[in-house]
Amino acid sequence: MSLVEWIKLPALGDERGSLVVAESNINVPFAIERIYYIFNTQKDTPRGFHAHYDLKQVAICLSGSCRIVLDDGQRKDEVWLDSPTKGLVIDTRVWHEMHEFSEDCILLVLASAHYSEADYIRDYDKFLEVVNG
Ligand code: T46
């Protein structure tokens, strides 16, 4: 089974432009406690390289594109985030990496909890121990 799960973010459009709605427990599968966004990135400088114990997230590329690697310790998937109408679920205990940011990339992340460094697993061997025992 694929690790890739998208949420529905249809553009409500008219002649004035497009509007997208993300709502807690409606099209976002958790209550949103925090948002953050990443920009001014560099193509050859990847980010991420961690998993979270409890945090659930949805990542949306508002502008530009980047490639996301998802890894649950058994399977690995890769997807391109390249549209403000595509929301990628990053589940708990999934190692994730963001690569190949385009110059204009703005990556918005909706998160299920406030920031806590204690929730990060930043070492890949430790991650494998946590998920595979
Ligand atoms: C994730 C991916 C998709 C804070 O102080 N508060 C925050 O809410 C966040 C998200 C970060 N920070 C600090 C921690 C670091 O000193 O900002 C700095 C950069 O964070 P980090 O190196 O973790 O950034 P990324 O891009 O590797 O990872 C981020 C999120 O941290 C992470 O939860 O899943 O984006």
Number of domain units in the chain: 1
> Is residue 48 within 6 Å of ligand 1 at its C-beta?
yes
End-to-end CA distance of the chain: 21
Q: Tell me the CATH number at 86.
A: 2.60.120.10
pLDDT of residue 3: 96
> Is residue 37 within 6 Å of ligand 1 at its C-beta?
no
For a mutational test of ligand 1's pocket, the pick from 35, 37, 41, 47, i.e. the residue with the most ligand atoms closer than 8 A to its C-beta, is: 47
pLDDT of residue 133: 87
Shortest-distance Cα residue to atom 30 of ligand 1: 48
Q: What is the domain extent for residue 79? A: 5-132
**What is the spatial distance between Cα 72 and Cα 92, in angstroms, rounded to a whole number?**
9
pLDDT of residue 1: 84
Low-confidence spans in the chain with pLDDT less than 70: none
% residues pLDDT > 90 (the chain): 98
pLDDT of residue 16: 97
pLDDT of residue 54: 98
